[in-house]
Structure 1
Amino acid sequence: MLVLHGVWDGDALAVWGEAESPAAIPPGAHTGAHPFALTAGVLRAALSGAGVRGRPGQLTLTLPGDPTGPVHSSLAPRDTGPAGAHPWTVPAVRLSPAEATEFLSAPAPEGTAHGPGTRHLRAVLDFAEHLVGTGCVLPDLVGRPPRARWRPAPVEQAERHLSALTAALPAAARAHLWEADADTVARRCVLAPVELLTDAVARRRASTPARPDPERTSSPEAVLSRALTGPDPRVDQGSADRLRGPLRRWRSRVQGAGRAELLFLLREPEGEGPQVWSVEFWVRSAADPGLRLPLEQVWSGEGAAWLPDDVGTTATADLRAAARHYPALRQVADQAAPTHLSLRTEGAETFVARYAPLLSGAGFGVVLPEWAGRQALGLRMTVSDGQGKRRGGGVGPTDLVAVSFEALLGADGGGEPLDQAELAELSELARLKRSLVRVRGRWCEMDPEQVEGALAAMRKRGRMRREQALRVAVGVEQTPVPVADVVADGPLGRLLDGGARAELQPMGSPRGFEGKLRPYQDRGASWLRFMGELGLGAVLADDMGLGKTVQLLAVLTDERAEGAAAGPTLLVCPVSLVGNWRREAERFAPGLRVHVQHGPDRPSGNALARLVGACDLVVTTYGVVARDSEELAALPWHRVVCDEAQALKNHDTGQARAVRSLPAETRIALTGTPVENNLGELWSVMDFANPGLLGSAADFRRAVGDRAEAEQGEGENTDLVRRLTGPFVLRRLKTDRSIISDLPDKHLVQTWCTLTPEQASLYKAVVDEMARRLDEADEHERKGLVLTTMARLKAICNHPAQFLGDGSALVGRSGKVERLEGVLGEVVAQGDKALCFTQYARFGERLAPYLRSRLGVPVLWLHGGTPRSEREAMVERFQNSEGPAVFVLSLKAAGTGLNLTAANHVVHVDRWWNPAVENQATDRAFRIGQRRDVQVRTMVCVGTVEERVEEMMARKSALAEGAVATGEERLAGLSVEELREVVRLAPEAVAG
């Protein structure tokens, strides 16, 4: 007979085993190092009898015995103390909560028996079953990224049962936590399994709903319902943000139904007498938290109408429950009428730092003084620009400025100044490791290291380079104490005081500019001019189609009209946009002298120097800069502009280094997508515009980048990034009606497709092959295999012929192509025009003639190999022809630089897994000049990798370094289990 022991370890049940007696161990079944523990193989064979498999692992357990060897559990004393127990590492099998419910609810597998820890967990599972069966569960959101979970409802009976389970915890169930305190053991061995097993039981009992129509079930409530009843608990960040408030209020109502809540209030010492703090016990109404009463008045009979009759009983029970999280409460929890807990200052420090968050997280009310958690110290930075101004009133990034610091009591910018004597006194308290101190008659939380840092900053006066002063002022260059306020004069003060944009002088329509700027374009051009006068780089990150080209041309025209230009502007852009810039300059700024530096016959040497000297604008490409970087860097550029500046996002490429090497008095980055994959791309664009301002790429990533990405758009690190880049980035969105009110709406629709049996067969074969090869591959081979497999599966989702590459017929073999034909048929019937984007050029070559034959309308095809003259002719034909038409485009070749507003339908045939790239393509139609609403469809094969990959990406908060070229690069970092789940073919994927 084998005995199966169990301990709850993190988020799993860890099972280990031994023979019933030492003599009964089967040959080859023990580990050798530990004479009684079973191997993982024997354990998994035993567990298979309960229908579970689990994952092999190891446990370090403190077991009865001595250093020479353990004592078999059947021979060990019932209450073995630490002196009679020693650590041993044993094989174990980890079961997920769902597997744990199967194992614990089934009879012991044949030939096995449950040990005391496993029997205790069976009791925990019975409690979870009871909670679910009686409806004592509530939905909630946990973790980052957010996941839906069923949690026990906070009822009094549950508290009593939890206390009983904790008291009955056998030593075997805590063998992995022998040195932990009682609170940790209760939390990890009782509370954690109750939560996770309750969720698993509720999911098992939930009836799986029929697959809803995706277009009608995008509400947060529907997302939560799927996450609570389906196999995937993840909830997208947007839905989670909208759900958290209602879920919290729901839980609060249940928790407070018919009872009062216990509240802990920290009271400061009064006067200059003995420094005695007090944690007072109050009760408050759950229905109206504004109603509250000290527990002292409850005991004295001074009740209130809102108090339930059993308030004393529930308050005492709550106090005992709170003692699990705050052990100091045990000394008063058993008193007849407890009212408060007295503390010395050291105890108050511990309460504020450690136990108040634990109590709050456990659902108890905690009221701290207003200073708690607030930054006590800040610095006021004073920067004197002096009189050193350059041409046009500008300043240089390397100019020196005078800098001094003043310490503030309070880090909100409005704090009271502290002198050096006061800081020195605080420093003495800091030396005694005191974090709660009394300053100017009031208590505050003080970081000892920051006191020393503030003293050092005040003693240090001097000069620093302007770019360093900027970095310190906006928080990029860290100071020992945060800079809460900046006082600066001159142009730098105009920028840092936050009034720069408000003080912009309208440009209007410059003399020589053929056209009228929209109000937001006027503000943008004026801002670019202002930043140039300061000698600072700018990132104009307006949404696609808002006219970044026009705004830059207005600035150049204004400079020429005012005689302020100090040299030519070099504009670097993708080759596909060279013609567009030349035509737009001829249209809006015909007086500008423009030269296109491109092609095999482009001038060089003295000829180029003479030509550049006579030009206002030189247009070239990223490729030319990479090849001719030394020659271009030797010319006197007034300004360097990068259009589609996301081309610089990978800062280590030769192309990016070549562009950054170009010297200029000022720089401008134009981009509609400053961030495509990660914040490192924003750093790269900013580093081009203002070299060194954000520090090195590694420093930026380490300081804020990685943490901000993990926050997924909301959090203090994300706010910090906005503050760091805000003065230098101007971004406006087309959807902002205060910016542009005459642009129609964009409607996003997911179009679900099913695979044909042929597609499903090919898909399954590729998945099976990947699974087999993954088991045999090393790390290097695995990465290539993953990326190759993803590409093959996406090709199958498009069409078997694309995957096979055999030139076979397209008709009737692809669910996606059939659905695409239906969608475009409706578009054509309405007399509209559509854009169809695919990332696969060879697929597009076959798709275009196929659609032409099936739809009976013009179907154009544009790809990377299309000559520029043909490209321009196709765009002209599509824009100006009468009647319906379809334009099939390669995503990479046509994602930028085209104006295709004749289309009011956009279809993404296959997914790029990068929303920024898809949005760029969509904005070929959704831009200024569009007069109709634009419907954007993304085609997704249900139950395949196309449906799962984006969800899997949300789980990967930290992006692999350097994996920014394509979104699919990130897939190489997934675990084998995750990969198999991503590519698994769901039953609903196949039609009929």
Structure 2
Amino acid sequence: MSEVVRAGAAGVRVLHGLLRPDGALALWGEDGTAAGHGAAGRGAAPEHPFAVPTAELPAGDDGTATVVLPSTGAGPLASPHLGLPPRRGTPRPRQWRVPVAVVPFLDVDLVAEFEGRAASSVEWLVELCGFAASLVRRGRVLPVVRIEGPRPSARWQPVLSGADAVRRSALLNRMPPACRAERPETGGDPFTVALERLVDGLVRTRLAEAGVTLADYGWLAALTGEPEFDATPALADELAGRLGAWFEQAARGAEVRVCFRLSDPREHEPVMPDEVPLPEDTWRLEFLLQAVDEPSVLVPAAQVWRDRSAPLRRWTSHPQERLLAGLGRAARLYPDLAGALRGVHPGEMLLDTEGAHRFLSHAAVLEEAGYGILLPAWWRRRPSLGLSLEVRGRDPVSQVLRDRAVGLRELVDYRWGLALGGRTLTEDDLADLAKAKVPLVRLRGRWVFLDPERLAAGLAFLKRGGGRMTAGDALRVMRLLPPEELPLPVTDARGEGWLADLLTGRLDQRLEVLDPPDGLVGTLRPYQVRGFSWLAFLDSLGLGACLADDMGLGKTVQLLALLLHHRAGPALLICPLSVLGNWQREAARFAPGLRVRVLHGADREDPAVLAAGADIVLTTYATAVRDADALAAVSWDRVVLDEAQHIKNSGGATARAVRRFPARNRIALTGTPVENRLAELWSILDFANPGLLASAHTFRARFAVPIERYADEDAAARLRQATRPFLLRRTKADHGIAAELPAKRHVRHLCGMTTEQVSLYRAVLDDLLERLAEPGEKWRKGLVLAAMTKLKQACVHPALLLKDNSPLAGRSGKVDRLEEIVDHALGAGESLLCFTQFARFGAMLTPHLAARFGVPVRYLHGGTPRATRDAMVAEFQRADRPGVFVLSLKAGGTGLNLTAANHVVHVDRWWNPATETQASDRAFRIGQRRDVHVHTLVCLGTLEERIDRVLADKGVLAERVVGAGEGWLSSLSTQDLRDLFALTPEAIVD
């Protein structure tokens, strides 16, 4: 699945963090449901229209803040996390009043109280608080006395040197702009104040929790009680000076530090000829001195004691004192060092496996305290423990006979195991684990660390043993089960046969590239040969497939090759009416040996009679729904859906009908497996392999919501893994395909409007705003959508809106521009396709263009009979002279092959880019030998231009905004609709 479409984020909430000018931490939020509905207030700092109330924020002191946010005349811009359409106009900073929760400290648990997602500003504040907590935990604080008011005060202040100073600078540089939203333009940076407040508060909290008081009076008492204390000016100055000198000396920090290097037994090799090798399973912990600003400078303790520490002279003149003092402080954190310090010149420790594990357990604490830690490379990327699933087919014959379709209902034997780093552990490995006394274990010559709780959970799960399940269940367990349903994730699969290869991602290795079948007329391109071979391979296994090649890459000929390759009974092929004739022609052209029958029309035969004498029975989706009972009574070899997006609504009548038809195998053909929502992908793949992706509810919870709403990349990766074996997606940009296609060039034409168009546009808009001002919201959605249709009609031509069949010439900027494009194309001897979503306008445009240019102008719409439609397409494709083909977007936007044209004009905009792309691909497809020019006509200064900007931006935002069509517009506020639909002066051209 190469593309992921995200749905709109209405209802999503976003939590923001704020660093106030006085250093306090505050939280405020935005509500995606309310965004766009509140009116912008008046005054210097009006209330933010869609801020979350204080009662719904995490626990804290209630308050308000005045934040500066980018805004337009309609109000503040919404956070990008909400996925809402951009407001019209140039953003400018403006003050807004928001409810806030002021918190003394911020951690992940507090953020979790909010029902929504946290913005980067909140994540940064959590990181700042974690840094403060780390300083306090490591004792990187000292007392100071400040003389800032009538009475001196005693505070705890962080000591920042070495790595801590670097981390402070990194935090400051990464501060999100949103954290400074309340910062006055002339004010100071609150970062230092906030860090000092956090450290001081945390030290006092820790001392209070431990019941520690430093004295009953004076400045020491102020370090655990009220910060201010009484002292004479002379005493206060002396205290401040002495404590300040102590603090400055500590802040300068050491230029070298003690470093510990642990080597596992494999890394011990005698350096000197007379050196005795260490016993097996003995670890070495070396002591070294390391330059803080150049960590690559390392001097072993043995050289320090022998006065051979020349590399450190630049940093210190007393290396021995630094080494001994550093080891002494480290012994408080890692008590095992005490034994080594009893020696005169401590240089290393020899540890057994249990001792090595104790050091590894303390390594993080030592590193956080500022010591250098060098560990074996495998420790940094130690493998994770998971479950493995072994499957074996119960019928060995099915692994050999390729013509027997075993499918997802085949029973297989399975057995659970444990896997480390994706490799299944053997019985000997498990025995070694059972004997291990500590989580540090040597397996297969490698040292590994195993979390005791995960290991115990995995070993307990193995007691379930094995059993029997279907191949489909094995796939669901491996790919789709939520992690909480198993004690460990499934990280490995093994076994024999196609299922094991499918589980391990090696199925492609079993794919045999086939020769084109006998009876196929024409030459398959290399990628088409591979697609046909892939279809045949899955067909032989009884697995359904979704061939999701881009429009125009030849899905039809690949399927016909499959039908010629293996004829085991009648195939039912369901397609839109617009391409029914195309399938007949393509079958006669590429596979004349196939017996093709058509189930369509008022006097259609019984499906069972047709199937008896046919290789393919062609029918339409509408007929399939009407004849569902009769079609369900036939045993089909294959059921194929062309333009399978017609069943994207899994609960619709079409989807329910086609799922009833029995078949040995099912195939879906579509150029757009996902148009608006991931639920559409589920519906198509569930048709091909029922139950494979679990239920629609489970799919939504596991994939659709995390991907569409929260952009969860892990969920997207799991979905790609789960669907990859059954979904083949190739695009025209893929290597090996792009070289076989001409270029496709997009041109956007900004057209002006005539005075007549402008007057009609304004009349429709004024009527809409007047009716929206009336009380009640009952008919709001219908009013907005109806008005939008009229506004688009006014942009196309006055006669379309007025429905008076008046002449077209000289009354529309779009029609004038269309005539220029047609004139240029015909003058170059090139044909042109003209798409409109208004069938009435197509009927008006056809005679106008025919009279204007004197060339054949054909018109295809939803009411065109099938025979006439087929004749029109055939005539256009083989015409000797250039011509124009006018098509309604819904009737002619899919399935047709119209490569005789290399110009495509979209007269009016359809708000779904995928729909317009499908229409353009009627000309941009295999068989096209010239560059294709796609012309989009947009009225300047109207709603068309503003929505076109959203579509032109494309990417995640446009897809989320467009959603399922035009319905999102009806939820906008009246002010937003006024801004969106408003007419600007540049729209008028006459």
Q: Structure 1 length normalisation: TM-score?
A: 0.63
Alignment-derived partner of residue 586 in structure 1: 588
Matched, 1:822 2:827: no
Residue 627 to residue 96, structure 1, CA distance change in 2 (3 Å): same
Matched, 1:96 2:69: yes
Displacement of 1:9 after TM fit? 9.0
Matched, 1:688 2:687: yes
Q: How big is each residue's C-alpha offset from its partner over 1:166-217, in whole Å with a ceiling of 9 and x where there is no partner?
A: x9999xxxxxxxxxxxx99x999x9666766599999xxxxxxxxxxxxxxx
Contact 1:13 1:94 in 2 (8 A): no
2: CA distance between counterparts of 1:292 and 1:746?
A: 54
Matches within 5 A, 1:439-588: 452=457, 455-457=460-462, 459-475=464-480, 479-560=486-567, 565=568, 567-588=569-590
Displacement of 1:526 after TM fit? 2.1
Matched letter for residue 920 of structure 1: Q
Q: Any unmatched runs of 5+ in structure 1?
A: 1-7, 16-43, 63-85, 104-113, 119-141, 145-166, 171-182, 203-261, 286-290, 308-327, 329-342, 360-365, 430-435
Alignment-derived partner of residue 781 in structure 2: 783
Number of residue-to-residue matches in the alignment:
736
Contact 2:260 2:285 in 1 (8 A): no
Of 821-830 and 512-521, deviating more is 512-521
Other structure's SS at 1:647 match: helix
Other structure's SS at 1:618 match: strand
2: CA distance between counterparts of 1:201 and 1:838?
A: 53
Alignment-derived partner of residue 387 in structure 2: 379
Other structure's SS at 1:725 match: helix
Other structure's SS at 2:566 match: helix
Other structure's SS at 1:55 match: coil
Matched, 1:848 2:849: no
2: CA distance between counterparts of 1:889 and 1:168?
A: 83
2: CA distance between counterparts of 1:702 and 1:745?
A: 41
Contact 1:748 1:937 in 2 (8 A): yes
Displacement of 1:283 after TM fit? 6.5
Residue 857 to residue 652, structure 1, CA distance change in 2 (3 Å): same
Contact 1:410 1:416 in 2 (8 A): no
Of 547-556 and 788-797, deviating more is 788-797
Alignment-derived partner of residue 407 in structure 2: 396
Matches within 5 A, 1:306-317: none
Alignment-derived partner of residue 624 in structure 2: 625
Contact 2:389 2:414 in 1 (8 A): yes
1: CA distance between counterparts of 2:419 and 2:285?
A: 28
Displacement of 1:277 after TM fit? 15
Alignment-derived partner of residue 16 in structure 2: 10
Matched letter for residue 901 of structure 1: T
Other structure's SS at 1:10 match: strand
Other structure's SS at 2:740 match: coil
2: CA distance between counterparts of 1:979 and 1:277?
A: 71
2: CA distance between counterparts of 1:687 and 1:857?
A: 48
Alignment-derived partner of residue 912 in structure 1: 910
Matched letter for residue 462 of structure 1: G
Of 902-911 and 590-599, deviating more is 590-599
Alignment-derived partner of residue 810 in structure 2: 812
Other structure's SS at 2:388 match: strand
Displacement of 1:974 after TM fit? 5.2
Displacement of 1:881 after TM fit? 2.3
Relative contact order: is structure 1 or structure 2 higher (C-alpha 8 Å, sep ≥ 6)?
Answer: 2
Matches within 5 A, 1:416-431: none
Match of 2:420 among 404, 409, 434: 409
Q: Any unmatched runs of 5+ in structure 2?
A: 1-13, 22-38, 77-95, 101-117, 121-145, 150-166, 187-254, 265-280, 302-308, 316-332, 334-357
Q: Structure 2 length normalisation: TM-score?
A: 0.63
Displacement of 1:653 after TM fit? 0.3
Matched, 1:901 2:899: yes
Other structure's SS at 1:507 match: coil
Other structure's SS at 2:901 match: coil
Displacement of 1:960 after TM fit? 9.4
Q: How big is each residue's C-alpha offset from its partner over 1:812-862, in whole Å with a ceiling of 9 and x where there is no partner?
A: 333322222222222122121111111111122222223333334332221
Residue 899 to residue 11, structure 1, CA distance change in 2 (3 Å): same
Displacement of 1:979 after TM fit? 4.8
Other structure's SS at 2:414 match: strand
Displacement of 1:379 after TM fit? 2.5
Other structure's SS at 1:666 match: strand
Other structure's SS at 2:390 match: strand
Matches within 5 A, 1:640-659: 640-659=639-658
Alignment-derived partner of residue 49 in structure 2: 55
Contact 1:386 1:490 in 2 (8 A): no
Contact 1:12 1:94 in 2 (8 A): no
Alignment-derived partner of residue 20 in structure 1: none
Residue 898 to residue 497, structure 1, CA distance change in 2 (3 Å): same
1: CA distance between counterparts of 2:310 and 2:55?
A: 52
Matched letter for residue 644 of structure 2: A
2: CA distance between counterparts of 1:349 and 1:780?
A: 62
Contact 1:408 1:418 in 2 (8 A): no
Contact 1:401 1:464 in 2 (8 A): yes
Residue 98 to residue 542, structure 1, CA distance change in 2 (3 Å): closer
Contact 1:906 1:922 in 2 (8 A): yes
1: CA distance between counterparts of 2:779 and 2:566?
A: 56
Displacement of 1:53 after TM fit? 7.4
Residue 708 to residue 9, structure 1, CA distance change in 2 (3 Å): closer
Matches within 5 A, 1:149-298: none
Contact 2:413 2:468 in 1 (8 A): yes
Q: How big is each residue's C-alpha offset from its partner over 1:468-488, in whole Å with a ceiling of 9 and x where there is no partner?
A: 112233446654433322213
2: CA distance between counterparts of 1:375 and 1:868?
A: 62
2: CA distance between counterparts of 1:545 and 1:462?
A: 47
Residue 490 to residue 831, structure 1, CA distance change in 2 (3 Å): same
Contact 1:708 1:718 in 2 (8 A): yes
Residue 375 to residue 989, structure 1, CA distance change in 2 (3 Å): farther
2: CA distance between counterparts of 1:350 and 1:703?
A: 37
1: CA distance between counterparts of 2:538 and 2:493?
A: 19
Contact 1:282 1:294 in 2 (8 A): yes
Alignment-derived partner of residue 216 in structure 1: none
Q: How big is each residue's C-alpha offset from its partner over 1:564-583, in whole Å with a ceiling of 9 and x where there is no partner?
A: x1x21111111222222223
Residue 756 to residue 619, structure 1, CA distance change in 2 (3 Å): same
2: CA distance between counterparts of 1:302 and 1:809?
A: 93
Residue 49 to residue 700, structure 1, CA distance change in 2 (3 Å): closer
Q: How big is each residue's C-alpha offset from its partner over 1:298-353, in whole Å with a ceiling of 9 and x where there is no partner?
A: xx996899x9xxxxxxxxxxxxxxxxxxxx9xxxxxxxxxxxxxx9989988999x
Matched letter for residue 582 of structure 1: Q
Matched letter for residue 420 of structure 2: L
Matched, 1:614 2:625: no
Residue 711 to residue 522, structure 1, CA distance change in 2 (3 Å): farther
Displacement of 1:455 after TM fit? 3.9
Residue 377 to residue 949, structure 1, CA distance change in 2 (3 Å): farther
Displacement of 1:275 after TM fit? 15
Displacement of 1:972 after TM fit? 4.4
Displacement of 1:397 after TM fit? 1.9
Matched, 1:734 2:732: yes
Displacement of 1:624 after TM fit? 1.7
Matched letter for residue 665 of structure 2: T
Matched letter for residue 388 of structure 2: R
Residue 781 to residue 301, structure 1, CA distance change in 2 (3 Å): farther
Match of 1:860 among 858, 861, 872: 858
Residue 885 to residue 292, structure 1, CA distance change in 2 (3 Å): farther
Matched letter for residue 580 of structure 1: N
